[in-house]
Amino acid sequence: MKNLSTKHQAQLAGGQALSQILFSTLSRAKPGVSTLALEKYFDKQLSKKGFASSFKTVGNYPFSTCINLNEGIVHGFPKKNQLIKKGDILTIDGGLINHGFHTDMAFTIPIGKASSAIKKFLKVGEKALDLAISAAKPGNRIGHISQAIQKYIESAGFNVSLSLTGHSIGKRLHENPLIPGVLLEPIKDTPLIKPGKSLAIEVIYTMGSPEITTATDGWTVNTVDRKPSALFEKTILITENGNLEATNYLKNLIK
């Protein structure tokens, strides 16, 4: 698009490709399929389309995706012996690098027909992300995004993670400022949103307690009470007049 910076052009093109790869991977999530098989497919698609993995640039993380089931909230290690079952809820989080710039996105789906409680739980997360994106515009502050997420999630009877956050994104996957899902200080004291920034906004929330614990693999984060969690994330580009979504969700995946 005209008038976009080199960074934003790269993230927009990368984000469109990432959206296609993520939803193609999600479509392969069936009972009996391992989370490692989904990772291998996603990674192969990145290579096939000529992109590098964002996630492999973070510490010693060895995969291109984080995949979580049920109480797994973020940073899940894909595993050969972790087979998807009917009734699970599955989160896939992935990122790619295009011309030196990262994009990042995540989505949670039910495996099989969801109960009314799970369907409500997931729809709330999708809506909260839409509201958060609406708040992400020049002149607003990061606190407006946090407030939008917290207000909507808590009004539905769920809890936002207190320690896991979204983040700015560019030449590195994780940049400052971070984007909490809860308002931790007066909005006026939170960073100003300026044109040219790119934000990976994440709605990370649970059906029960927001308290979390890390598994023995050193990465996978689970809810302490073992109740379901979910993650919805998009990368957006802050423009002079508002924002532009670099990544886009397909509709009607939550049935």
Please give the pLDDT value at position 252.
55
The answer on pLDDT for 39 being more than 80 is: yes
d(Cα 7, Cα 229) in Å, to the nearest integer?
Answer: 32
Q: Would residue 218 be called left, alpha or beta, if left means φ above 0 and alpha means ψ between -120 and 50 degrees?
A: left
Sign of the CA dihedral with 142 first, then 147, 152, and 158 last: positive
The answer on pLDDT for 205 being more than 90 is: yes
Q: Quick check: 96 and 14 in contact, CB under 8 A?
A: yes
> What is the chain's mean pLDDT, rounded?
95
What single DSSP character describes residue 142?
H
Pick 99 or 2 by higher pLDDT. Answer: 99
Token digits of residue 24 = 């193609």
The answer on pLDDT for 207 being more than 70 is: yes
pLDDT tens column, 45-69: 999 999 999 999 998 899 999 999 9
- Residue 151 contacts by C-beta under 8 Å, 6 or more apart in sequence? none
The answer on pLDDT for 175 being more than 90 is: yes
Domains of the chain and any CATH numbers: 6-245 (3.90.230.10)
| E strand or H helix at 46 | helix 35-48
Please give the pLDDT value at position 201.
98
The answer on pLDDT for 40 being more than 90 is: yes
Q: Quick check: 235 and 197 in contact, CB under 8 A?
A: no
Please give the pLDDT value at position 3.
83
Categorize the per-residue pLDDT at 253 as very low, low, confident or very high, splitting at 50, 70 and 90.
Answer: low
